Amino acid sequence: MASIWTLHVGATSFLPVRSLSDGHQSRSEFGLDSKFSNCSNWNRRAAYRTLVVKALDSDGGDRPLQNDVVVVRKLEEDNVKKPQQNIVAKLPETIGSLPVFVYSTGKLSGTNLAIGLCIVATMLVIVVRGYATRKSSENRAGSVADLVRRGQVRSDRRGISTPLKYEDPFNNPMVKVSKSNSTVEMCGKVYRLAPVVLTDELQTVHQKRRSRAYQWKRPTIFLKEGESVPPDVDPDTVRWIPANHPFATTSSDIDEDLAQNNVRQKHGVPFRIKAEHEALQKKLEALQNDQKLSKLVIDPGAARDFERPMKSNNLKSETQVDQSTSNPAISDQVSKPPPEETINP
């Protein structure tokens, strides 16, 4: 029976009677209105109370056992455990006892499911879209970003400027002019504006002053210092260029007409390249013709030009050897080193 009693006690500890009271406390702690909780749960609390009373009355014959030592101790132990169990039980019970949740769990389960599905679908769409954009940005081969990634374009020299948008009126945010046009704010600094007072008369006055001060004729001919002035040239229009001028020279290897044609040339091979190519072609042809005509004739002079210097030295040494063999006395003198005594008397 004691076990049954303990069971009952344990059951009562988890029964909503206690929990309701605790819940009421916790709600008041959370700042909820006590009136609200009292009114809404009044019927349920009464029902639970009658249930507990009935349960206790059912084992009324065992009441004397309540005074047993074991039972009392068990009760004390249970009383010690109760607050701990209450802490765990407090939150779900509190939530479950809230009228909103009671209502929603009963009637809105279908709506909740739909909302949940919507949230999951949205999340899925966001993730898929992000993944797709990342994929597409990675796949854009040849773009500037791709070139930078591959190290072919320096990132700090990329085109960071955007084209100006015309026919799209906008005020430059960096520049603000005051309503009275007396000040202007540029890049966060305010400047005073002053009107320009230069008139056309003043400009002509300055022009006249300069025309009096500076008499100048543009030089039309450049001559190196020391050269004689051509007879039909005004000496004032001659510009004398020193022979050691760092970047200007009066001499050029092409004539004026040719240079002009070179500038005007729009298509085809440039003149100099073409000329060099043609010259090489002619030389090659000439060489080939010479070889055909005089295949068997060897020009010793030309052959000597193509000889390598080492070879000529060897030839010389060979001739010397030949000569030395023909005249052994001289060769001995040449080949043998002179005695030390003769060198250092």
Partner 1 sequence: MISLQTIAKPSPIHFRPKKPFKRPPKTLTPIHSLLQYNRKPQLSGETPRVVVITSGKGGVGKTTTTANIGLSLARLGFSAVAIDADVGLRNLDLLLGLENRVNYTVVEVLNGDCRLDQALVRDKRWSNFELLCISKPRSKLPLGFGGKALIWLVEALKNREEGAPDFILIDCPAGIDAGFITAITPANEAVLVTTPDITSLRDADRVTGLLECDGIRDIKMIVNRVRTDMIKGEDMMSVLDVQEMLGLPLLGVIPEDTEVIRSTNRGYPLVLNKPPALAGLAFEQAAWRLVEQDSMKAVMMEEEPKKRGFFSFFGG
Q: How far is the CB of 138 from partner 1 (least distance, A)?
A: 24
CA–CA separation, 23 vs 38, rounded Å?
11
Helix or strand run (H / E) with residue 223: strand 221-224
CB of 219 to partner 1, least distance (A): 6
Nearer to partner 1, 88 or 196 (CB): 196
Q: Which is nearer to partner 1, 208 or 304 (CB)?
A: 208
Q: How far is the CB of 264 from partner 1 (least distance, A)?
A: 5
Count of CB atoms situated within 10 Å of the CB of 94: 21
Q: Which is nearer to partner 1, 105 or 265 (CB)?
A: 265
Cα–Cα distance, 340 to 333 (Å, whole number): 14
The smaller minimum CB distance to partner 1, of residues 195 and 345, is found at: 195
Taking CA atoms, 249 is separated from 229, 257, 260, 263, in Å, by 17, 18, 18, 19
Distance CA 220, CA 236 (A): 9
According to DSSP, the residues that pair with 185 across neighbouring strands are 176, 190
Which residue number, 129 or 272, has a Cβ lying nearer to partner 1? 272
In degrees and rounded to multiples of 5, residue 239 shows phi and psi of: -110, 125
Nearer Cβ to partner 1 (115/175):
175
Q: Are 2 and 70 in contact (CB under 8 A)?
A: yes
Exposure b/e, 4-36, CB count within 10 A at least 16 = b:
ebbebbeebbebbbbbbebbbebbeeeeeeeee
Closest separation in Å from C-beta 236 to partner 1: 12
